[in-house]
Amino acid sequence: MPTPTKTQSKPTGCADNAGVRMLLAAELRGNEVINEAKKRRQRLMKKARKEADEEIREYKLRHETRIVLLKESLKEEGAKVQAEVDKNVAAALKMYEVAVTVHKESIVERLMNLVVDVQPQIHRNIVTQQQISGGTYERNSAFDNRRKRKPTMTDSFIPSSESAVL
């Protein structure tokens, strides 16, 4: 058997056990450090989760409060707009009531004249047919001249003798 050299010394039993014990102790310390790091990480994660939950709760509370305030301001604004619309409608109704009161008599009189004072006339188609068959038809006859401008809204409340004939 060859003799061991300095670099290949034969380990003794005590030195071998001491090295193993040192490695086991280092492994235990390493495991403890790892476990402590895991626990620390878990504590930090729990703390971060709690802080995040608290921030979320505060954020929701702030925004819910803001939403409630916005809804209230919209309600108030809607109430103002509704009040203005109601005011405008009331003013328009009042204007129409005044117009009816002012023009009621003349309109009733106009309607009565149109219904009661009927003046029989030959329909213009018959007159035109007679003119055509008689050879006296002209494009601008008296019936065409009866057509005047169409009445406007301002004319509807103003009685006139011309419109009573129509």
- CB count within 10 Å of CB 128 equals 14
Model-wide pTM > 0.75? no
* pLDDT on residue 40: 97
**Arithmetic mean of pLDDT, 121-150:** 76
- The rounded radius of gyration (Å) of the Cα atoms in the chain is 54
pLDDT digits (tens, 9 = 90+) for 84-124: 999 999 999 999 999 999 999 999 999 999 899 888 888 98
More confident residue, 8 or 49: 49
Mean pLDDT across the chain: 83
Contact 141, 126 (CB under 8 A): no
Domain residue ranges in the chain: 17-137
Q: What's the confidence (pLDDT) of residue 67?
A: 95
Sign of the Cα torsion 57, 62, 65, 71 reads: negative
Distance (Å, whole) CA 110 – CA 155? 13
